[in-house]
Structure 1
Amino acid sequence: MAQNLRAVAARCIYAVVDKGRSLADELPSQLSKIAEKDKGLLQELCYGVLRHLPELEHDVRDFIKKPLTGKQRVGHFLMLVGIYQVKYTRVPDHAAFNETVSACKPLKCEHLKGVINGVLRNFQRQQTNASHVTNNSKNIADAIVYNHPSWFIKKIQTAYPEQWQALLAANMQRPPMWLRVNQRHHSVEQYIALLTAADIEHQRLDESSGAIQLTHAVDVNKLPGFQLGWVSIQDAAAQQAAGLLNCQAGDNVLDCCAAPGGKTCHILEQCPDIKAMTAIDIEASRLTRVEENLNRLNLSAQVIAGNAATPQQWWNGELFDRILLDAPCSGTGVIRRHPDIKWLRKAQDIEALTALQQEILKNIWSLLKPGGTLLYATCSVLPEENSEQVQRFVNETPDAKHVAISENSTDIGWQILPNMAAMDGFYYAKIVKTTA
């Protein structure tokens, strides 16, 4: 039996914020509990509340004398769901109020009905006299104004003093849907013609790229030839990896931390005559997605569950010509796609991540042939994971040479910021192993 979707949303948000579960892990299991017609609204509520969490909690704080704790805590997130509907959705206020209050029963907090109803109605009345939180609010903390944790705002202000507000604003936007054309089947121009014939609005990133941005997201099954492997879903920033790695015929290639396999498949699409592709990931469960993508696209690779930090446990001893290291990172470049990152990631995580990246870089480097290329990649915007990490590695590794890939040849790597040409935040650096 389908459940009250506000109750399901509150449980899902509670699991993320208080229990530290990823939204990508939690939401699929919750979607099965509600009617098909309500699934879009459930996703809207979960993503929306997590995007605007500090702001919504500030709104609630104005109308409740004592914070809800313990077993009542899920009621707190139900109030956030209710206020989000009033502020940011087209759900009529009366429907939002009734359904939100009704959710108290399946959440086993019926004693909170009066409190939650009072908070929602007081907020509604306040709306006529006080606008939403804005960037002009002088007496409100930045975390509430910008809907990001304070530690992250400070890091972004330091790293990007001229762009920090624009970067935070980009993180609050809904991400576009990007397509990668499999040019073994169609040219980009041919596939664009198929999209036009299917009345799917789109635009191309640039003439040199196969990346196509859809004006509105669509179900993948509506994309011409999706099940036949003609096209894949992949952000334009992630699509840069294959071109930068620039594999050649006969190359032995390693994709480290490969799941879910988008870059693995793109490399094979672009250069089908490489000698071999090895794709590893530490999480065996995530390799199922790699296999699914390879099968749909009719591609082949050796897929191995292995730790990039300890290659001796899985490496067969044959050196690689090209290595893509999509390093474990903070994920701070893809917050617009995964707003839960803001609340799951902590300031102290960054030091541990940079130490892990250093360890992987050092150990994977020994698998690269002299004259070979390693492409270091992250979906982070933090310099300590990106340019500082690569600079340190090059300084400490005698046979490592950084090769400029950005327009500014003095840059260490290429930092793509969120919403730069509508792309995700991403970082790339090309490092070549010298032969001397």
Structure 2
Amino acid sequence: MTEQASRSAPLAAALLGAADLLAAVLSGRTLDAALAETALTKTPLTGPLRAAVMDLAYSTLRSFGREDFFLAQLMNKPVADVQIRCLLLITLNRLEARPEHAYAIVDQAVTVASRLAAGNFKGLVNGVLRNFLRRQDELLARAKENPVAHHQHPAWWITRLKKDHPHHWQAILAANNTHPPMTLRVNQRRITSADFSAQLTAAGLTTHAVGDAAWQLDKPVPIEQIPGFHEGLCSVQDAGAQRAALLLDVHPGQRVLDACAAPGGKAAHLLELADLQLLALDADAARAARITENLVRLGLLSDNVRVCTGDARTPTIWWNGQPFDRILADVPCSASGVVRRHPDAKWLRRVSDIEGFAVTQVRILDALWHTLASGGKMLYATCSLFAAENEEQVAAFIGRHADAQRLAIDGAPSVQLLPHADHDGFFYALLQKN
């Protein structure tokens, strides 16, 4: 974002900032990477402007299939300038969300266009947006007949969900397009769940319980407004993700491995449940540093806790040969169960990515199994909804390892949580070494 834009009307600056982010995503970068790049190379987004830019970017990525469909109907050929295309997509999303402000939105979008690409697209932007307003009812009807526009997901994604979840695929797609809940996990080493709830109420935050130590905020807020967050009284963690540590069934003194542990939410939860000899592992050094930061904030770092940078597929590099009693294998995956938090993933993922993740998951599982003690338990976890990464992966693992057996979870061989008002989508399977 240019300095000139940051001094202009707030909406114009927000439209331009969001268009920059969307252009970065369409070029193949994740939204997180695009934000980091903006902070390093351009005027940093702060305060209300950052909030406005993020709102526009996230909303447009959630409904990208819809806005892209509209744009294709409104233009005879694709616009050559990527930034102008992104400006149009962002503005179409805004017009749908705030129809009562249509005149001001179009005016601000034209203002931004006049500063981009030598101002050559000012008339085009004005014409496309006003044409959309005239034809909106017609375009909305057409969008209902187009699966990508209607469900706001890529065609291959819709097809795979139909196959894997024939009775729930439409509800999953609808849930993926909503805003995610914000849930807090109470650090019961520091405060009781009841006392923390009282602090939330005193701070004017309304919540409801979604677990023994989990409180979901009725309305998400910045972490600065959460009482005791910086003092380590709580963590932000989805209620579905909080099931992992509970399912692993840890006991004091056990040797526990959290593989692929960054940013450390599940490792911290395990340490909140019991005094453990824990190794938190991650292949990325920068992400591993975040594990340490979170454990320090929560007061959980000790001589019995080690954070290590290493690849879960190659234990010989980081394992000392002492078997683990418990292993949390929270493996890399498509993240198809958490796309409402990462809407860019819907449009960045490809079918081939699922196959690639499955290969990585096989290598991690087979490598970690050799480090598990006899009688020990390993929890296989993903934030995916695709069977190729979940049930099919576990079934194949059982077939390769005669000494592996499933342990029931809630009376079932495994658990597939679907995106819901109270939690994201996760898969869990608990394995024991005979």
Q: What is the SS of the residue equivalent to 1:103?
A: helix
Shift of 1:37: 2.0
Map 1:76-225; keep pairs closer than 5 Å: 76-89=85-98, 92-127=101-136, 129-130=137-138, 132=140, 137=144, 140-206=145-211, 209-225=212-228
Map 1:232-311; keep pairs closer than 5 Å: 232-271=235-274, 273-274=275-276, 276-300=277-301, 301-311=305-315
Does residue 376 of the first structure (1) align with residue 380 of the second (2)? yes
Deviation larger for 26-35 or 351-360? 26-35
The answer as to whether partners of 1:204 and 1:212 remain within 8 angstroms in 2 is yes
Aligned partner of 1:422 in structure 2 is 422
The answer as to whether partners of 2:70 and 2:139 remain within 8 angstroms in 1 is no
Letter in 2 for 1:280: L
How many pairs does the alignment contain? 419
Distance 1:330 1:176, change over 3 A: same
The answer as to whether partners of 1:5 and 1:34 remain within 8 angstroms in 2 is no
Does residue 227 of the first structure (1) align with residue 230 of the second (2)? yes
Does residue 47 of the first structure (1) align with residue 90 of the second (2)? no
Letter in 1 for 2:33: D
CA–CA distance in 1 between the matches of 2:269 and 2:121? Answer: 52
Letter in 2 for 1:427: F
The answer as to whether partners of 2:114 and 2:121 remain within 8 angstroms in 1 is no
Aligned partner of 2:48 in structure 1 is 37
RMSD: 1.7
CA–CA distance in 1 between the matches of 2:87 and 2:203? Answer: 40
Q: What is the SS of the residue equivalent to 2:74?
A: coil
CA–CA distance in 2 between the matches of 1:369 and 1:393? Answer: 17
CA–CA distance in 2 between the matches of 1:150 and 1:304? Answer: 40
Letter in 1 for 2:407: V
- For each residue in 1:71-109, what CA deviation from the matched residue of structure 2 results, as whole angstroms up to 9, or x when unmatched? x12211110111111001477222211221222244335
TM-score w.r.t. length of structure 1: 0.92
Q: What is the SS of the residue equivalent to 1:132?
A: helix
Q: 1:8 aligns with which of 13, 17, 27?
A: 17
Letter in 1 for 2:112: A
Structure with bigger helix share is: 2
Letter in 1 for 2:60: V
Letter in 2 for 1:432: Q
- For each residue in 1:267-308, what CA deviation from the matched residue of structure 2 results, as whole angstroms up to 9, or x when unmatched? 00111x22x111111111111211110111011231111111
TM-score w.r.t. length of structure 2: 0.93
The answer as to whether partners of 1:55 and 1:133 remain within 8 angstroms in 2 is no
CA–CA distance in 2 between the matches of 1:144 and 1:153? Answer: 11
The answer as to whether partners of 1:15 and 1:26 remain within 8 angstroms in 2 is yes
CA–CA distance in 2 between the matches of 1:337 and 1:370? Answer: 38
Letter in 2 for 1:252: R
CA–CA distance in 2 between the matches of 1:146 and 1:177? Answer: 24
CA–CA distance in 2 between the matches of 1:182 and 1:133? Answer: 49
Shift of 1:406: 3.1
Mark the runs of 5 or more structure 1 residues left unpaired by the alignment. none
Q: 2:346 aligns with which of 342, 346, 349?
A: 342
The answer as to whether partners of 1:7 and 1:106 remain within 8 angstroms in 2 is no
Deviation larger for 117-126 or 82-91? 82-91
Shift of 1:191: 1.1
Shift of 1:395: 1.6
CA–CA distance in 2 between the matches of 1:188 and 1:245? Answer: 21
Instruction: Flag as ranges the 4+ runs of structure 1 deviating above 3 A.
Output: 28-35, 129-135
Q: What is the SS of the residue equivalent to 1:217?
A: coil
Shift of 1:34: 4.1
CA–CA distance in 2 between the matches of 1:107 and 1:402? Answer: 58
Shift of 1:29: 4.2
